[in-house]
Structure 1
């Protein structure tokens, strides 16, 4: 490790001119001035013979002795820095085994970055302080998880799609049903209690990438790979509830679902359900895949996000394009609207997300936030003044709308994060991962639970999306993935655990 300057205690170099220090450094490379390493019979004057110098011999000898002292000091600093680096590597290995790394494990940045004037003892003390703080956080996080009484139980599986499920959503009007959007070009509506398919929308010519329901009417908007978004109406009648299935029954780790017929639900054979094929409105101003869509508060306008790097704002009644929201450098991945205000947040592969403000009709402001190092897969509003963003860089960040210069909490995970959701009442973040796991965190970044996953239950492939349904006290969280199924969960996290 190169060292510029070193300890100032008792060193001869501390009072020398900078030019002398540089010259000393060059001399130490060419020869060793220590008397112990000098060959026998060779005196100091002999070593200086033949050199073109006008300095008197005593002065030259004095300078050479001072240069030797400087060289020995640099040697000591070099050895101490090597030992310090070994200590840093050792601590990083120990923390990596626990699932975290010291922020600043790299000696050139983070919490271990120091000025050249800091002594080795100061470096060592700062390293110990950082290590203790990091390990304390790890241990406390493990204690909260291990000692919790969080209950996460699988209640219902919704099986019937013939390809992976990209997105799901819960209606905001009665009757409350679950909607799923799939790569099999269809969207299905399900009875939450019985798991039966109630209605199929088959109006798209491409993968259905998202589904969202109108806040007050029985309407849905779906975004598709056919470069359009469809608004369509539905009417469903809930069947009589049935006893929950035995989720403890054995099942294959990776079953082949391709043998199921279209519309088959829970192995009961093809189901006869109403099919809607014609939308109420078709929004087709995009030049690429429409990856997401959502309703603005009030339900009179919708926003769509596309791979053409733009988001569009439409009037629902006339299907008229009102605004084109441009500025992202790469494809959009998601869009979300605020539950009570005319705010929109769009996410992109360009590692940023943008906040669009439509509260003042005459002013449409936009703010760009650069908090991630990879694709931002989703950014969602909470009921309060927060935005939560998830990314392929394996982090989730919580932001304050009033001051979004830096996140107020950062969650680090071991897998890429897909479309997240935040519960309105308990403010719990549900993270779906590429590695088939689903984890729950609070808004301060403390892990509350991990949903059970084994050969008998849970997702068998990438989990794409989560959605909360707090109106239902039993089945209050839904997840979907590329194993072609959606799952309903019962999540019960005591308030005492969240306070930890």
Structure 2
């Protein structure tokens, strides 16, 4: 009888887990296009330029940031100006300038100039987004090659932002690119004037270390995330004042919160949930996505508003804004991440790669995600 009771409890628990994933009969088609290998330690962040030429950037615990040709996988620029782990990379909205955040307690602004090599044909490795086969680790030798050894190197930043007293975990440009915001383990976020490197505002109020910061694409809004289980919305639209709102929608560390082009904020957490919020009414989320693993730095595609969730358990899942799961990116003994996936970044302007992921297997991966028309019309 006791065995039956335990089995019933197990069955109920399993049903609750399975039923928490909303599913659809349609599947996104997920194609692995390119692997970008060259860092000597885990990758914390991945980003894509918003200007031509379109290149991808990675930030690594190996103290470097690399810029890559998306088509060829070749390293284009190596930035070595930091004395600690590079935790974040973001590109200026209009110029060939990058912003990196580091464990050396600084953020750097540095200029790059790239010339793209001729692209080579790419093999078709299309796999349905829900397919997964037995996973086995890649040979360590596959990720030990240093493709950045002969890469042009940038050593000196244009400017260094130095007001933090702890690790700078993330940074981003405000709309227009004249100001930048940083988030630190010293529990503050700082707003800087880019031209002078002067501190404009120190944003205080979080009770524990910050984990992320993000700016709105068209408005002077900033959202900061923290280990204190909250995220905060900072409003700089009125130059004479700035206001802040605190949101307590999670039960564990908020690992990231990001804006969409519209009026939404999407937050992800170590509590294994992602929540979608309406900026016009932030009292409660309009959708909650429950997963089976901690969620790291998420991103939302501009056009289709698809949320990409990188997980501690090496999975990457795609959801729509109503919480319906569209796909799980394929993992096999030949492709996919083999360690924790730290970050995802959509690219709207590239014809073949529209999603990038990176993680502690020391590589970034470029994907082509094709959402069926039936799902887009929902």
Normalised to the residue count of structure 2, the TM-score between the two structures is: 0.93
Q: Structure 1 residues 92 and 412 mapped into 2: Cα distance closer, same or farther (>3 Å)?
A: farther
Q: Which residue of 2 aligns with 1:273?
A: 151
Contact 1:311 1:324 in 2 (8 A): yes
Task: Say whether 1:190 aligns with 2:68.
Answer: yes
Structure-2 separation of matches of 1:299 and 1:395 = 32
Q: Which residue of 2 aligns with 1:343?
A: 221
Structure-2 separation of matches of 1:259 and 1:425 = 33
Secondary structure of 1:98's aligned partner: helix
Give the 5 Å matches for 1:363-442.
363-442=241-320
Structure-2 separation of matches of 1:313 and 1:371 = 25
Q: Which residue of 2 aligns with 1:315?
A: 193
Q: Displacement of 1:279 after TM fit?
A: 0.1
Deviations 1:441-481 (A, max 9, x none): 00000000000001111000000000000111321000000
Structure-1 separation of matches of 2:256 and 2:240 = 28
Deviations 1:194-241 (A, max 9, x none): 110001000000000000000000100000000000000000000001
Give the helix-richer structure, 1 or 2. Answer: 1
Deviations 1:18-52 (A, max 9, x none): xxxxxxxxxxxxxxxxxxxxxxxxxxxxxxxxxxx
Structure-1 separation of matches of 2:225 and 2:44 = 16
Name which structure has the greater RCO, CA cutoff 8 Å, separation 6+. 2
Contact 2:44 2:360 in 1 (8 A): yes
Contact 1:304 1:335 in 2 (8 A): yes
Structure-2 separation of matches of 1:259 and 1:499 = 40
Secondary structure of 1:100's aligned partner: helix
Give the strand-richer structure, 1 or 2. Answer: 2
- List runs of 5+ in structure 1 lacking aligned partners: 1-85, 102-134, 265-269
- List runs of 5+ in structure 2 lacking aligned partners: 127-134
Structure-1 separation of matches of 2:73 and 2:120 = 9
Which of 1, 11, 14 is 1:97 aligned to? 14
Greater gyration radius = 1
Structure-2 separation of matches of 1:247 and 1:257 = 22
Contact 1:215 1:298 in 2 (8 A): yes
Deviations 1:336-362 (A, max 9, x none): 000000000000000000000000011
Which of 41, 44, 60 is 1:166 aligned to? 44
Task: Say whether 1:255 aligns with 2:159.
Answer: no
Deviations 1:266-311 (A, max 9, x none): xxxx652110000000000000000000000000000000000000
Give the 5 Å matches for 1:135-150.
141-142=22-23, 144=24, 147-150=25-28
Give the 5 Å matches for 1:353-372.
353-372=231-250
Which of 222, 226, 230 is 2:100 aligned to? 222
Kindly report the root-mean-square deviation, in angstroms, between the aligned alpha carbons of the 2 structures.
2.1
Task: Say whether 1:213 aligns with 2:91.
Answer: yes
Q: Structure 1 residues 453 and 341 mapped into 2: Cα distance closer, same or farther (>3 Å)?
A: same
Q: Structure 1 residues 259 and 167 mapped into 2: Cα distance closer, same or farther (>3 Å)?
A: closer
Contact 1:177 1:192 in 2 (8 A): yes
Contact 1:162 1:257 in 2 (8 A): no
- Paired residues, number: 367
Task: Say whether 1:493 aligns with 2:371.
Answer: yes
Which of 315, 319, 324 is 2:202 aligned to? 324
